[in-house]
């Protein structure tokens, strides 16, 4: 199962959080949002297809989130989990931990915001840049 959407850069992108990565539909970003790598997303968790949400509700599910911008390809792999609600209207959060909230897309991820190459972060600090986001889910 695959789902694609777009988000864009923001001057305040820091991408320094060691355990999470976030995309948001919001347009505002403060320096406290060090896990946020893109804003103005065309999708939040609530917008994911139902069959994808159902698959991600199982620990057996594997997920892959890829950010594509120019020649950059950054991929994070993680797992689904019981208790995921996919109810948040604006945010999508990937976590290295097993913590679950209404903002969580996947848990036990192998990477986080701090792992993005600095050259990609530089591009994501440009509000005029669009990043293609691809979510792939395997049961």
- Mean per-residue pLDDT, 78-90: 97
- Mean residue pLDDT of the chain comes to 97
Instruction: State the Cα–Cα distance between residues 45 and 28, nearest whole angstrom.
Output: 18
pLDDT digits (tens, 9 = 90+) for 2-33: 999 999 999 999 999 999 999 999 998 887 88
Phi-psi region of 91 (alpha: psi -120 to 50; beta: other; left: phi over 0): beta
Residue-wise DSSP of 31-47: TT-TTEEEBS-S--GGG
pLDDT value, residue 12 = 95
pLDDT digits (tens, 9 = 90+) for 95-120: 999 999 999 999 999 999 999 999 99
Asked if the model's pLDDT at residue 74 lies above 90, the reply is yes
pLDDT value, residue 32 = 83
| Domain boundaries of the chain, sorted by first residue | 2-138
Instruction: State the Cα–Cα distance between residues 132 and 86, nearest whole angstrom.
Output: 20
Q: What are the DSSP E strand ranges found in 1-139?
A: 2-8, 20-24, 36-38, 62-69, 72-79, 91-95, 104-106, 130-138
pLDDT digits (tens, 9 = 90+) for 28-63: 888 788 999 999 999 999 999 999 999 999 999 999
Overall size of the chain counted in residues: 139
- Mean per-residue pLDDT, 111-134: 98
Residue-wise DSSP of 118-129: HHHHHHHT-TT-
Residue 85 burial by CB count (10 A; 0-12/13-18/19+): exposed, middle or buried? middle
CATH 1.10.645.10 fits 2-138, yes or no: no
């Amino acid at each position: 199962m695959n789902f694609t959407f777009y988000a864009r850069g923001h001057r305040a992108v820091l991408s320094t959080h060691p355990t999470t990565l976030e995309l948001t539909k919001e347009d505002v970003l403060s320096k406290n949002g060090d896990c946020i790598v893109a804003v103005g997303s065309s999708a939040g968790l609530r917008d994911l297809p139902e069959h994808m949400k159902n698959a991600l509700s199982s620990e057996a599910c594997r997920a892959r989130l890829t950010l594509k911008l120019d020649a950059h390809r950054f991929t994070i792999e993680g797992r689904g989990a019981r208790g995921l609600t996919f109810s948040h209207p604006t945010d999508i959060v990937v976590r290295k931990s097993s913590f679950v909230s209404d903002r969580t897309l996947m848990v036990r991820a192998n990477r986080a915001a701090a792992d993005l190459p600095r050259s990609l972060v530089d591009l994501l600090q440009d509000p005029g840049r669009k990043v293609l986001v691809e979510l792939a889910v395997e049961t």
